[in-house]
Amino acid sequence: MFAVRSRVLSSALRSTRLSSTPVRRASTFYNAAVAGLTDEESEFRNAVHEFAQREVAPRAAEIDKTNQSPMDLWEKLGSMGLHGITVSEAYGGLGSGYLQHTLAMEALSAASGSVALSYGAHSNLCINQIHRHGTEEQKKKYLPPLVAGTKIGALAMSEPGAGSDVVAMQLKATPKDGGYVLNGNKFWITNGPVADTLVVYAKTGEGSKGITTFIIEKGMTGFSTHQKLDKFGMRGSDTCELVFEDCFVPNENILGKVNKGAGVLMSGLDLERLVLSAAFDVAVDYVHERKQFGQPVGTFQLMQGKPPFAKRQFS
């Protein structure tokens, strides 16, 4: 199945080429034998990398300078099936696995970290959560436009006083006839300013067992976004604060079960660490290759501590 999909993907990529100039490729990046990739997997990685180098890399500096998200890329990525790599074909996805998703993240990151970050928040944190935990009605409603790239997704966990510490979460969801009323804030939300569909975590009880996941739609009464953040890095990956003021969310927008949101959250973060592991591999190579004062920076005491710490964070 994937070999057929891979050929379709390659055709889509060929149609978006900006020129016939060959792409320069790092031999280590494309050494499929060392990476242990099959022919189909290697073809997939090469195709995404070629697209990213032609469509994204030439715009990376401008994206960073203007801090503007390249909205036209979303539908192009969707036409190649990249938003729905792990989504079943019934909802418009490729029905493939996380190896392919990681390969896509690796290739896009080589062209622009900010584009890859927004892509990961959309495809992994939002789409994947709905695909894995949504009802059939939720999947049919939300996944097709998200997979196509005609709508953009986000996930909202962090708050001004709480990051991944779900116990410290302050966004409160109060039961009301037919649903819940949300009051509070979320902060540092990737894709927040442009998202149409957001997976949001809120407190419905005490402790870590009192978290529930909700699907929030742009335009819901009581839901708004504040000014986009002007960051030092990852500029062009739109980030902002979300505000909930008596925002009513119907029961049919609960993702998973009431008070079971912590499990939904952690299942997604575990897979996010897998996708982000490609960045760790690049960092490890870099500290061995980069030299200062006549020796690799990886021999310095501070740098010897950082990679192991990062490894523990996502392992």
Catalytic annotation, residues: 272
In this structure, which amino acid lies at residue 82?
L
Residues 98/123, Cβ–Cβ less than 8 Å: no
Residues 182/173, Cβ–Cβ less than 8 Å: yes
Q: What is the 3-state secondary structure (H, E, C) of the chain?
A: CHHHHHHHHHHHHHHCCCCCCCCCCCCCCCCHHHHCCCHHHHHHHHHHHHHHHHHHHHHHHHHHHHCCCCCHHHHHHHHCCCCCCCCCHHHCCCCCCHHHHHHHHHHHHHHCHHHHHHHHHHHHHHHHHHHHHCCHHHHHHHHHHHHHCCCCEEEECCECCECCCHHHCCCEEEEECCEEEEEEEEEEEECCCCCCEEEEEEECCCCCCCEEEEEEECCCCCEEECCCCCCCCCCCCCEEEEEEEEEEEEHHHEECCCCCHHHHHHHHHHHHHHHHHHHHHHHHHHHHHCEECCEEHHHCHHHHHHHHHHHHHHC
